[in-house]
Amino acid sequence: MSRNVYQFAAALASGIVFGFGLSLSGMLNPARVQGFLDVFGAWDPSLAFVLAGAVIVAFVGVQAMKRMRRPVLGDRFHLPVNNRIDAPLLIGSALFGLGWGIGGFCPGPAVASLSIGLPQTALFVVAMMAGMTLHDRVWRNRS
Amino acid sequence: MNTYLLSLGGGLLIGASAVMLLLLNGRIAGISGIVGRLAQGIGLTTNLAFVLGLLLGPIVYMLAFGGFPAVEITVGWPLIIVAGLMVGFGSRMGSGCTSGHGVLGLATLSRRSMAAVATFLTAGVVAVATLRGLGI
């Protein structure tokens, strides 16, 4: 079998584990996310454990990556090269954070929760993809 | 089970998923990047495979536990649209979201991602405090 088939299977398996992990963690629930962000009100810190658990495991994986010349199924590691803290990073992150707080969804949970079939999550994902397309096709190409 | 343990367990799995994609395919599991590239038709097969998997995750959860995870949406459709537009535009402008900057960026000790995480967490806190202040 060609390597593309293995890469497809690896991405599919990784997506399933990601979606299952999100489901288990409580991140799929906008009310929980807003409770986590409600530090001046009835703060629910439990979702901090999601980030902590994920970062710890990812940190170990990154150390393993540094000992590998290339990924198992690919030619090279595709890592971000930009290390500047610039205006698009900060303005974009601020916009993202405001939207995350208002809706209680970030991109992963929004997409995963489509499977549950609520019309509001479908509406959110359509608006999110419109926002992405607006940035990638219009804003980034402005002269 | 304890919600803290479930959150920790879910987080460990999310980390494991990111490690799989990194060590096998050499790719960062950043959802805004994956969905954004998919919308532009870049890297169609693997990005589509990951999104398919993401959709299957809650179904596997349902088969394992006999019900879907809770999804309680607290705002009406006008704010859902505003939030979706901001999340989509902002995550692409800032080159990442909770997964790319939050999980992998912090795991690689990237200063850029640390700045992004501090910014979106602060903005999220401001947004929720404002909603609460307005009685929403």
The answer to whether the predicted template modeling score (pTM) of the entire model surpasses 0.90 is yes
Query: How far is A44 from A52, CA to CA, in rounded Å?
Result: 15
Q: Which of B3, B84, B35, B40 is nearest to A48 (CA)?
A: B3
Residue type, position A95, single letter:
L
Query: How far is B94 from A90, CA to CA, in rounded Å?
Result: 7
Q: How many residues does chain B have?
A: 136
User: Residue A3's pLDDT is what?
Assistant: 84
pLDDT higher than threshold 70 for residue A129: yes
pLDDT higher than threshold 90 for residue A143: no
Asked whether the beta carbons of residue B88 and residue A135 sit closer than 8 angstroms, the reply is yes
User: Residue B1's pLDDT is what?
Assistant: 63
In this predicted complex, what is the ipTM?
A: 0.97
User: Residue A22's pLDDT is what?
Assistant: 98
Domain that holds residue B123: 3-133
Instruction: Answer positive or negative: Cα dihedral of A133, A77, A21, B46.
Output: positive
Tell me which chain B residues have a C-beta less than 8 angstroms from the C-beta of A64.
19, 23
pLDDT digits (tens, 9 = 90+) for A35-89: 999 999 999 999 999 999 999 999 999 999 999 999 999 999 999 988 899 999 9
Domain that holds residue A7: 3-139
Asked whether the beta carbons of residue A72 and residue B128 sit closer than 8 angstroms, the reply is no
The tokens for B127 are 């947004």
**In which band, very low, low, confident or very high, does the pLDDT at A110 lie, cut at 50, 70 and 90?**
very high
Query: What is the helix (H) or strand (E) element at residue B28, kind and residue range?
Result: none
Measured between CB atoms, does A96 come within 8 Å of chain B?
Answer: yes
Give chain B's domain count. 1
Asked whether the beta carbons of residue B70 and residue A56 sit closer than 8 angstroms, the reply is no
User: Residue B43's pLDDT is what?
Assistant: 86
Measured between CB atoms, does A14 come within 8 Å of chain B?
Answer: yes
Asked whether the beta carbons of residue B115 and residue A102 sit closer than 8 angstroms, the reply is no
The tokens for B14 are 């999310």
Each of the 136 residues of chain B gets a pLDDT tens digit; together they read 689 999 999 999 999 999 999 999 999 999 999 999 999 888 889 999 999 999 999 999 999 999 999 999 999 999 999 999 999 999 999 999 999 999 999 999 999 999 999 999 999 999 999 999 998 8
Query: How far is B108 from B102, CA to CA, in rounded Å?
Result: 10
Give chain A's domain count. 1
User: Residue A1's pLDDT is what?
Assistant: 60
**In which band, very low, low, confident or very high, does the pLDDT at A2 lie, cut at 50, 70 and 90?**
confident
Measured between CB atoms, does B73 come within 8 Å of chain A?
Answer: yes
- Beta carbons within 10 angstroms of residue A41's beta carbon: 14
The count of C-alpha atoms lying within 13 angstroms of the C-alpha of B120, restricted to the half-sphere facing its C-beta, is 33
Q: Which of A40, A54, A72 is nearest to B8 (CA)?
A: A54
